[in-house]
A and B are shown apart, each in its own frame.
Chain A
């Protein structure tokens, strides 16, 4: 299975905004808006071709973690670029290194993506998995 190298950006989107502002972070609606990776159609084709069957999810991997999210072919994206709306799923792969600024590198991350048949976790499952209480 090919692992494609991409530059990963995260940021605000309209869907992410109105679900977060509307207090819906633990809902399915938020998950659909935020747990999604946008990639260029050519990159999508390459991954799909290699995967062989219907592809709707990818695993995003960085040096700091990995996360399964939905994938969307998006011709607004440049080749080799990926975008995940800001939120818990994107933060599973974000480094906590701030280079002395206090703020993590939410943009311009080096990441790998590959097709997967693993499930996309709900927001609550994601945090229950992290909680040590």
Chain B
């Protein structure tokens, strides 16, 4: 059977034009990029986790759920990590459990665009939707971002190639700038590749800001010569509608959230001359969904501690890496996240010392270290829900098939069942 207009939840671009032809044995995917296609093929993967595991051995669903509840109930300060490959409704269920247990709840932003969120808290986010970019933007700057490898259809659906209401000629009417220390597939498409030295983004943004404020730059900054800095500044001032897509090149390097704060203040400054916006290229599917749900329910975006019954937020203290590094949690529940593969070594070592429960769809380092593994349900394919796109637009997902088991309908259902066991 062929399904149309399916949404892909792999990255923050959330393409909504995927077509899927599915039978008992195989699956054919149309319109998706290589990353999206790989995810859809997980539906029929032979490695799919279809049965609960306890200490690496198959177990009954009820027994595994009971054991999970015991682990969390017996912990003094459990950490719930609700990943981005699950729905906003699952996040809500996770928040309820964290609050009930007096634990901490965190998600992918903590190790990716967390500093971007902190930058937003410092400066405010001057932004617009991807639709505005498609219809209006004539200058597109990818700063520390490589969408040709991380958001493959970002350029073809929203930013560069599509014809827009005010950009009828599509790419011909748009100028592309990429600021990156490396040559990447994205830099190959750029009209201007600014090859900045690593960790020098703050300095370059300061230089552009200085020129905008009427000062002169006489020396190269961050390995970028003065001519290029002036050229880039003029491009920014003279465009009709400019956008900076921010990648992890800013959030993960020296300067961290100060880089993002600076970028947002720079965009505010350019708005004295022309219309300019900034959009963080959120990587994982529902990163924004976690931030939104967490913020409307607790007032804080990520890394929220409920140990005193009321929510407390302090990045560097209640965030996953810091809690594990300081050995301040004694059990973990990880939902829809390959966390162990993406944290520093010493932190993973501590993860392996404490009881861990994971909800996942395929074997990975996280499931290897877990005491209990509960089979995950693939959002947007086997379960409905809400996902937020990278520009914070909420989109309703429609399932087109069922999970290969009947003990749970979705990750949200799994967490609700687990919560019932915890409350008993």
A residues contacting B by CB (< 8 A) are 7, 9, 11-14, 17-26, 64-65, 75-78, 81, 83, 86-88, 91-96, 98-108, 123-124, 126-128, 130-133
Contact = CB atoms under 8 A, between A and B. Distances in A.
B311 interface: no
18 contacts: A17-B149, A21-B39, A22-B41, A23-B364, A25-B365, A91-B341, A91-B348, A95-B344, A98-B315, A99-B256, A99-B316, A101-B315, A102-B106, A102-B322, A105-B252, A127-B365, A128-B368, A130-B345
A19 B34 CA distance: 10
A130 B349 contact: yes
Contacts of A105: 252-254
Contacts of B352: 127, 130-133
Q: Identify which of A98, A106, A126 gathers the most chain B CB atoms within 10 Å of its CB.
A: A98
Interface string B139-157: 0000000101110100000
Nearest to A95: B344
A102 B302 contact: yes
B344 A64 contact: yes
B362 interface: yes
Nearest to A97: B325
Interface of B: 10, 34-39, 41-42, 45, 47-48, 106, 110-112, 114-115, 118, 146, 148-150, 152, 181-185, 195, 198-199, 248-249, 251-254, 256-257, 283, 302-303, 315-316, 319-322, 324-325, 338, 340-349, 352-353, 361-365, 368-369, 371
Given A18-B35, A124-B368, A133-B371, 12 more contacts: A17-B35, A20-B341, A22-B42, A78-B181, A87-B341, A101-B316, A104-B111, A104-B343, A105-B253, A106-B248, A107-B252, A130-B352
A97 B346 CA distance: 11
A126 B340 CA distance: 11
Contact of B38 (A18, A123, A126): A18
Contact of B114 (A65, A92, A101, A126): A101
B320 to A, nearest CB: 7
Contact of B369 (A18, A23, A92, A133): A133
A101 to B, nearest CB: 5
Q: Identify which of B114, B118, B252 gathers the most chain A CB atoms within 10 Å of its CB.
A: B252
Contacts of A124: 368
B38 A98 contact: no
B248 A107 contact: yes
Contact of A7 (B198, B283, B315, B324): B198
Contacts of B112: 103
B110 A11 contact: no
Contact of A130 (B115, B184, B348): B348
Q: Identify which of B253, B320, B364, B365 gathers the most chain A CB atoms within 10 Å of its CB.
A: B365
